[in-house]
């Protein structure tokens, strides 16, 4: 079994990218936990959520695995201003979201949100994004569901973004450029950051990622009206929103809160998508309304918007050689529903 001394020895070669000093030498290793051959680390850097963090986290993982670890879990925090100054460094000025917003009216931001978890919001997000791409649009997706990031898995993405200089180049799959919190976490480690740190990470998704020219950015938001959703509303005052609910009355009632938040922050609600609307038997063609009926319609009426589509319970065809467990093909019946939704989105923009 590895010891703390062996882990520290392996990390002596790793430098803090902004200070160019060893992370061991500047006491940037906040925590080491060893359980069998699994190592968990908390590391402090000058700035988190940057291209430099992606580089250094890979160096750390490689070094600790070379020392004998089977898996390496990483968490990051920021060095205090006093620590940065002590070691002769300074923080870069926050460049904000200008690099993505500099495209002006050319890019449409669409936040996909819900009142509660488990309604299929991320599935709706990735299928809207891929369907827009099929229709010839230039699309990016930001997996902003910080605690429940799932977009890379849903889209069958196994690679990581490329880093060139100080810029992060998103992974592209099905014609969609993807960035996710999941790319910044090793071995499915839990995220325990608090609001301000999460907001900074989201800001960097806009400012440090080389998106190129886009027509649409889809933002898969966390459910509810917490810190991350509020940060998005503040960062993107002209974003549009799609609310996802199930037919169940409670899901629709809770989703109305998220819709009200959008209205109060002057976001335009594009419409409502009702997911898990019914189950259709392949044998008889009969529809069973497993979660009730009417939730999507009631929500749309309450928010004075339209019901963009009703998506039944289903499962995409999963191909071993082109694995993407949540993406529906264009000729699939549910894929055709997503096409109708995407066409309506384009009409409204």
Residues 6+ apart with CB under 8 A from 335: 127, 131, 316, 328, 329
Share of the chain above pLDDT 90, in %: 40
- Write out the residue range of the structural domain in which residue 223 sits: 98-347
Residue 45 lies in a domain: yes
Which among 32, 51, 86 is the end of a domain? Answer: 86
Which among 86, 115, 142 is the end of a domain? Answer: 86
Q: How distant is the alpha carbon of residue 270 from its chain centre?
A: 20
For the record, the structure tokens of 33 come out as 């936990």
Smallest Cα–Cα separation from 180: which of 195, 196, 161, 207? 161
pLDDT band at 98 (very low <50, low <70, confident <90, very high): very low
What pLDDT is attached to residue 196? 55
pLDDT band at 204 (very low <50, low <70, confident <90, very high): confident
User: Do 80 and 148 share a domain, yes or no?
Assistant: no
Higher-pLDDT residue of 40, 345: 345
What pLDDT is attached to residue 95? 43
Smallest Cα–Cα separation from 34: which of 13, 7, 62? 7
User: Do 72 and 119 share a domain, yes or no?
Assistant: no
Per the CB < 8 A criterion, the answer to whether 216 and 137 are in contact is yes
User: Do 82 and 103 share a domain, yes or no?
Assistant: no
User: Do 247 and 207 share a domain, yes or no?
Assistant: yes
Residue range 64-87: average pLDDT? 88
User: Do 32 and 131 share a domain, yes or no?
Assistant: no
Higher-pLDDT residue of 138, 302: 138
Asked if residue 206 has pLDDT above 90, the reply is no
What's the total number of domains in the chain? 2
Residue range 42-69: average pLDDT? 86
Residue range 324-331: average pLDDT? 92
Which among 86, 113, 143 is the end of a domain? Answer: 86
Residue range 339-349: average pLDDT? 94
Asked if residue 320 has pLDDT above 90, the reply is no
Smallest Cα–Cα separation from 123: which of 281, 270, 315, 257? 315
User: Do 81 and 105 share a domain, yes or no?
Assistant: no
Instruction: Kindly tell me the burial class for residue 285, based on how many C-beta atoms sit within 10 Å of its own C-beta (0-12, 13-18, 19 or more).
Output: exposed
Residue range 280-289: average pLDDT? 89
Asked if residue 141 has pLDDT above 60, the reply is yes
- Which one of 84-98, 156-170, 256-270 scores highest in mean pLDDT? 156-170
- Alpha-carbon distance of 175 to 127, in angstroms, equals 12
pLDDT band at 94 (very low <50, low <70, confident <90, very high): very low
What pLDDT is attached to residue 283? 87
């Amino acid at each position: 079994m590895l010891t703390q001394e062996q882990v520290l020895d392996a990390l002596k070669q790793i430098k803090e990218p902004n200070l160019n000093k060893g992370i061991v030498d500047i006491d940037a290793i906040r925590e080491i936990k060893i359980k069998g051959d699994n190592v968990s680390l908390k590391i402090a850097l000058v700035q988190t959520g940057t291209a430099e963090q992606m580089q250094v986290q890979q160096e750390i993982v490689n070094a600790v695995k070379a020392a004998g670890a089977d898996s390496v879990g990483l968490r990051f925090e920021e060095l205090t201003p006093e620590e940065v100054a002590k070691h002769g460094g300074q923080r870069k000025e926050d460049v904000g979201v200008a690099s993505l917003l500099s495209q002006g009216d050319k890019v449409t931001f669409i936040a996909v949100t819900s009142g509660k978890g488990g309604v299929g919001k991320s599935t709706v997000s990735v299928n809207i994004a891929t369907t827009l791409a099929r229709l010839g649009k230039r699309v990016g997706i930001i997996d902003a569901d910080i605690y429940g990031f799932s977009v890379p898995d849903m889209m069958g993405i196994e690679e990581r973004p490329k880093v060139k200089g100080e810029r992060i180049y998103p992974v592209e799959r099905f014609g969609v450029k993807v960035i996710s919190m999941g790319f910044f976490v090793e071995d499915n480690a839990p995220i325990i950051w608090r609001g301000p740190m999460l907001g900074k990470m989201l800001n960097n998704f806009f400012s440090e990622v080389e998106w190129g020219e886009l027509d649409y950015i889809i933002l898969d938001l966390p459910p509810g009206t917490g810190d991350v959703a509020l940060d998005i509303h503040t960062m993107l005052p002209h974003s549009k929103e799609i609310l996802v609910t199930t037919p169940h009355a409670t899901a629709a009632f809770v989703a109305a809160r998220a819709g009200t938040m959008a209205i109060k922050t002057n976001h335009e609600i594009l419409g409502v998508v009702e997911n898990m609307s019914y189950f259709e038997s392949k044998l008889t063609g009969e529809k069973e309304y497993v979660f009730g009926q009417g939730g999507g319609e009631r929500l749309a009426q309450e928010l004075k918007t339209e019901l963009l589509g009703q998506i039944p319970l289903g499962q995409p065809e999963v191909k071993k050689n082109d694995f993407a467990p949540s993406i529906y093909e264009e000729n699939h019946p549910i894929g055709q529903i997503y096409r109708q939704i995407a066409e309506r989105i384009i009409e409204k923009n």
